[in-house]
Amino acid sequence: MRVTLFDYGAGNLHSLAKALATVEGAEVRIQEDPVGALDTDVLVLPGVGAFGASAARLEPGRKAMREALEQGLSCLGICLGMQLLFDSSEEGVGEGLGYFSGKVTRLASRRVPEIGWNTVEGDTTLKGAKLDTVYYAHSYVCRATDASVVTGWTTHEEDRFPAAVRRGKVVGVQFHPEKSSLAGVRFVQAFLQEVAP
């Protein structure tokens, strides 16, 4: 199974690649070209960086990537990667993939960013790994237009927002599984096992 991390200048690729490589048969590679990243079985959009700069790196392949997702390409979007699956963000200019309908807005909380462990409410994202307590590091959150795609919720202070979304073989998570200890690794493994070709 070919797993491709699309590198849009985000950090934290090493620990994420390591978590992905724990699945038997997974060949993990990093690709900077958005169109080249589509020659894969599973696309991963990593989670550290700014929306505007990342959207600009994505732009040359945005239409092709959106079409590939609509045609069934498996994808895991993490934190910023999840936000790029939505239409747009208050954080910066540029368009996201628009695979999920909605906008990314700043956390409506006194303490921003949210950094640390928090729970996931009512998680139904994957059969093989139920989410409970995971690690967050973010200032912006996705506001899904269609609540039916939300498969887990989180609350930071009084702001309740999607912890996870799913449509078909495309999953987005606001938290960082690669920083969420064994539970996060199990989540990544369960995702790859569930969507494996």
Alpha carbon of 17 to those of 20, 31, 58, 81, 189: distances in Å? 5, 12, 20, 14, 12
> Token match 């959150």: residue?
141
Q: Determine the Cα–Cα distance for residues 197 and 111; give it in Å rounded to an integer.
A: 42
77 CB contacts (<8 Å, ≥6 apart)? Answer: 44, 45, 47, 83, 84, 85, 170, 171, 172, 173
Q: Determine the Cα–Cα distance for residues 86 and 145; give it in Å rounded to an integer.
A: 10
What six digits make up the tokens of 53? 């700069």
71 CB contacts (<8 Å, ≥6 apart)? Answer: none
192 CB contacts (<8 Å, ≥6 apart)? Answer: 1, 3, 20, 23, 26, 42
**Catalytically active residues, by annotation:** 79, 176, 178
